[in-house]
């Protein structure tokens, strides 16, 4: 429960309301290894603590990276920090994306908005062992072209011949030449072998519900669809009950769940 001090090495503005912090251990201890999909609790001293997924490469533990959208008290305080400032970190916590289980299969990554950040480590892991997977498809939706995250990296990924990248926006600007529409509609257009595909989905819950519907109607099995759930958290270790849904704790049993196991609570704010 005790946070470790981490120093901000770099602040990168991603969009108007989203930023990435690169952090290094301030106590000279070793960086904790993490699985793609896990999260840390970030503590802004005197303000509060929030769960934020790790958005960096799991095979590079020299820095840990978090990409955050400023929506309220703590995330706005995080946005106000600068290089050299210190925050507290507890973690990593929770379950990860099924990158090992998906070996030998097609992988379909479907993300909306800030959901690309928790899935970026999974993409790094898939690409680092590219030969172990069949087709890899990334479907990403943003509110507008200005809200697209990790632009340069998306362009790099787009230029790769062994990765299919589709990007859509809800609202286009005059110079947008790409697809307009919500991200679940991309599931219909993308080429992948549905009965042999594993899907990893992260975004607003309404987007995830419609995405699951599209994936299932294409023939992806419910047991091969994984979602990352977000609920209010305090302790992150299954003690306080803030994130509890009956027997399920989002913090320690999740945040990444198999769809067929989490379906009953999808869309419910509390049980």
Nearest in space to 141 (alpha carbons), one of 174, 117, 119, 111:
111
* C-alpha–C-alpha distance, residues 31 and 68, integer Å: 20
Question: Is residue 50 close enough to count as binding ligand FAD by CB under 6 A?
Answer: yes
Pairing of strands 256-258, 225-228: antiparallel
Q: Tell me the closest approach of the beta carbon of residue 45 to ligand FAD, in angstroms.
A: 14
C-alpha distances (whole Å) from 237 to each of 101, 119, 150 are 25, 22, 30
Q: Tell me the closest approach of the beta carbon of residue 232 to ligand FES, in angstroms.
A: 8
Q: Tell me the closest approach of the beta carbon of residue 38 to ligand FAD, in angstroms.
A: 9
Q: Tell me the closest approach of the beta carbon of residue 195 to ligand FAD, in angstroms.
A: 30
Chosen from ligand FES, ligand FAD, none, partner binding at 73 (C-beta under 5 to 8 Å by type): ligand FAD
* C-alpha–C-alpha distance, residues 143 and 162, integer Å: 27
Question: Is residue 206 close enough to count as binding ligand FAD by CB under 6 A?
Answer: no
Q: State CA 97 to chain mean position distance.
A: 9
Chosen from ligand FES, ligand FAD, none, partner binding at 69 (C-beta under 5 to 8 Å by type): ligand FAD
Closer of 36 and 118 to ligand FAD (Cβ): 118
Strand 106-112: give its sheet, edge to edge. 179-180, 164-169, 136-142, 106-112, 197-202, 225-228, 256-258
Closer of 38 and 211 to ligand FAD (Cβ): 38
Looking only at residues 230 through 259 of this chain, which bind ligand FES when binding is defined by CB under 6 A? 233-236, 238-244, 249, 251
Looking only at residues 23 through 42 of this chain, which bind ligand FAD when binding is defined by CB under 6 A? 39
Is residue 149 within 8 A of residue 15, CB to CB? The reply is: yes
Looking only at residues 66 through 125 of this chain, which bind ligand FES when binding is defined by CB under 6 A? none
* C-alpha–C-alpha distance, residues 88 and 44, integer Å: 7
Element housing 19 (H / E): strand 18-25
Q: Tell me the closest approach of the beta carbon of residue 39 to ligand FAD, in angstroms.
A: 4
Q: Applying CB under 6 A, which residues contact ligand FES?
A: 233-236, 238-244, 249, 251
Q: Applying CB under 6 A, which residues contact ligand FAD?
A: 39, 48, 50-53, 67-69, 71-75, 114, 117-118, 230-231, 233, 255
């Amino acid at each position: 429960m005790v946070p470790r001090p981490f120093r901000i090495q770099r602040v990168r503005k991603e969009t108007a309301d989203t930023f990435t912090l690169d952090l290094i251990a301030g106590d000279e201890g070793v960086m904790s290894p993490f699985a793609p999909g896990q999260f840390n609790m970030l503590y802004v001293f005197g303000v509060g603590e929030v769960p934020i997924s790790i958005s960096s490469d799991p095979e590079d533990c020299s820095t840990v990276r978090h990409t955050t959208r400023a929506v309220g008290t703590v995330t706005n305080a995080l946005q106000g920090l600068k290089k050299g400032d210190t925050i507290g970190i507890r973690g990593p916590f929770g379950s990860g994306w099924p990158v090992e289980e998906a070996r030998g299969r097609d992988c379909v990554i479907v993300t909306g908005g800030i959901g690309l950040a928790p899935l970026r480590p999974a993409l790094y892991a898939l690409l680092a062992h590219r030969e172990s997977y069949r087709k890899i498809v990334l479907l990403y939706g943003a509110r507008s072209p200005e809200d697209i995250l990790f632009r340069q990296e998306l362009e790099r990924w787009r230029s790769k011949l062994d990765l299919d990248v589709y990007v859509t926006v809800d609202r286009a600007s005059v110079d947008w030449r790409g697809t307009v529409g919500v991200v679940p509609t991309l599931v219909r257009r993308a080429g992948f072998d549905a009965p042999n595909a594993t899907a990893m989905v992260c975004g607003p819950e309404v987007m995830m519900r419609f995405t699951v519907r599209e994936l299932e109607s294409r023939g992806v099995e419910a047991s091969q669809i994984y979602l990352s759930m977000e609920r209010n958290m305090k302790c992150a270790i299954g003690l306080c009950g803030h994130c509890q849904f009956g027997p399920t704790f989002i913090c320690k049993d999740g945040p990444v769940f198999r769809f067929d196991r989490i379906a009953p609570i999808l869309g419910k704010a509390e049980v």
